[in-house]
Every structure is written in structure tokens, then in C-alpha cells.
Amino acid sequence: MSDDLLLQVQDLRAHFHTDAGVVKAVDGVSFDLKRGETLGLVGESGSGKSVTSLSVLNLVPSPPGVTSGRILFHGRDLLAMAPAELRRIRGDRIAMVFQDPMTALNPFLRIGTQLTETLRLHRGLSRSAARARAIELLGQAGIPAPERRIDQYPHQFSGGMRQRALIAQGLSCEPEILIADEPTSALDVTIQAQILELIQALTRRMGTAVILITHDLGVVAGTCDSLCVMYAGRIVERGPTADVFRTPRHPYTQALIQSVPRLDRKGPDRLASIPGQPPSGIGLPECCAFHPRCDRAMAICRQRCPPAAEAGGQSVACWLYQEAQ
């Protein structure tokens, strides 16, 4: 394995057993992450992005969830590790910034207590040394007067400051991989830009690889080196971000990009939209899940699930490109 290759996700599946049936939240996802790379996972709500990120750290509750496949971190399978060994990796070598900082942070504990816990557990710092490091991290995250703010509770922080505190916590041990699960979804546009710039600046300085989960294509275009487009628990297109935006191959990727407002468009044309709704994960047919919403669907799309094929340097799971080979 290449020294630059940090993470290999191979045929990852996360299924939830419910009274209504089996929910296939993640169904055969595979991707690689290199050192220092920023990888974007994009798709509509319910496409399996967040469950994929939770599965990487084996945080899917079992029961009801069942996770299979392989997640190789430096060649070792995270899903096969003992709980004690995995706990030594979580928060230290692989960290996560969760979607909602108000629920990710404990409302009964001061910000400083939550930041120093990670440092004392994984780095063995004394109470005073951990506090000094936490103040430094809050300052690097752009929180004013960190010496005073460190003793406050989460409800005394604004939404943007809570997100900054979570980022400081995630990067406190200078992890090799940071998983950011929609870190800007609850913030206004100005604060979104600041948070994304902060993540980029800190991770580049530390050489940290990032998995950025979002439904915002604008965020992906400005921050990610490579891109995975997810639909119904599967990756339908994967490739360098610039290439995917320049020449999107999968009909779903094309529809997503066409539905984004653009300043370079002229005239009164209506904004394109994708008809219908994403499918639920229950009872998905063994065929292309996008075919009911696709204007290029063929008979085979309703019968079998397309394997991934190479098309112009991108990996695309679509029968259009199977026929072209």
C-alpha cells in the first residue's frame, strides 16, 4: 500500500433492521483517502452520507445496525478492531466534527472540560497543560478572548462559535483524518465561509486529510480535491472535483449541478429541478435506484444494478457507460 494512502473503504454496507423492513442506508460504498486530501461526499438528504461517516469510526449502533465490508486505516481493518483499540484511534488519529454542535457538545459541561478531556486521554497532559493547550486551540479557531470563553457553557456560545469549538476539539490531537459531517448546515452564509476557511487553514497546517460531508455543491467546488456523489446508499460517480464539475457523467450528478443557481446564466430560464423524491432505504430494488427520476432510463436500468465503469478518468455507475465500452 502507498505511504500516501491513509484510508481504504471497501464494499461498506450499513443496514438497519426495523419493523418496516431492512433499511439499506449504505450499500456497497468504496473509496480511498490520501494523506492531505480533502474528499467530498455529496448527495441529497437520505443518500447515506452521514451513516458512511459514522461507519468509518464504527459508531453505527448494533442493534439495529449491521455493518460489513472493510475499512482499512494504514492497512488495518477498523471494523475488526477490539473496542479498546478503536477507542485509542477515535479522537486521536481519526477525529470527527458532528453536524449539530448544540447536541454534540454536552450542555452541562464547560467548553474547557470537553476540550481538555481529549487532550488528557490521548496525550496524557496534566490538567494545567491541557487547559493551556485548549486555550491555544480556541484562539486558533478564531474564538475571541479564549482565556475567558474556555470556562463558559455551550449555550453561552453562538452557533458559529460552538462549531469553532467542535473544530478545535476535533483537531486538538492533530489527527491524520478529520471527518466533518455537514459542519456549516446550520450557519448563515457568512459564517459558513469562515468555518470552511478555518478547516482548510488548520488541516493544511497539520497535514490532515478531510472527509467533508455536505449537500452544498458550492462548498464542494471550493474546498474538495476529489468528490463522491451518493444516491440511495451508493456512490454513483467518483473523481477529481474539477473533472466532475466540468464534465459530470451520471445523470444524477448532471441534474444536481443543473439545479444550482449560477451567476453566468443569462435570461429568464427557470431553475432546473429533479422530479420526484429520493427513495427510502427500505425495499430498494436490485436495479438502478435513480431510474424513476431519470429522463435517460433504459429497460436494463429497471432490471439490474449497474457496476462502476471508467469514463474520462471518473468512475460512474450507470448503464449508459457500460454500453459505451
Read off the pLDDT of residues 140-196 as tens digits, 9 standing for 90 and up.
999 999 999 999 999 999 988 999 999 999 999 999 999 999 888 767 888 888 888
Rounded distance between C-alpha atoms, residue 121 and residue 113, angstroms? 12
Let me know: does 166 contact 105? Beta carbons within 8 Å.
yes
233 falls in which pLDDT band (50, 70, 90)? very high
Note if the pTM is more than 0.85.
yes
pLDDT computed for residue 267 by the predictor? 64
Tell which phi-psi region holds residue 59, choosing left (phi > 0), alpha (psi between -120 and 50) or beta. alpha
pLDDT computed for residue 322 by the predictor? 81
pLDDT computed for residue 325 by the predictor? 41
CATH of 5-232, one of 3.10.20.30, 3.30.2310.20, 3.40.50.300, 3.30.70.1450: 3.40.50.300
Question: What pLDDT, in 10s, does the model give residues 17-76?
Answer: 999 899 999 999 999 999 999 999 999 999 999 999 999 999 998 888 888 999 999 999
pLDDT computed for residue 323 by the predictor? 59
Of 236, 83, 192, 68, nearest in space to 200 by CA = 192
In the predicted structure, residue 276 carries a pLDDT above the cut 50 = yes
pLDDT computed for residue 25 by the predictor? 94
Average pLDDT, the chain: 91
1 falls in which pLDDT band (50, 70, 90)? low
Sign of the CA dihedral with 225 first, then 231, 237, and 238 last? positive
Rounded distance between C-alpha atoms, residue 233 and residue 248, angstroms? 19
Long-range CB contact pairs, 63-68, < 8 A, 24+: 63/17, 64/16, 64/17, 64/18, 65/14, 65/15, 65/16, 66/13, 66/14, 66/15, 66/16, 66/17, 67/12, 67/13, 67/14, 68/11, 68/12, 68/13
3-state secondary structure of 200: helix
pLDDT computed for residue 324 by the predictor? 46
Domain boundaries, the chain: 5-232, 250-262+284-325
pLDDT computed for residue 93 by the predictor? 96
Question: What pLDDT, in 10s, does the model give residues 79-127?
Answer: 999 999 999 999 999 999 988 888 899 999 999 999 999 999 999 999 9
pLDDT computed for residue 31 by the predictor? 97
For 251-313, strand residue ranges (E) read: 309-311
Upstream peptide bond of 64 is cis (omega within 30 degrees of 0): yes
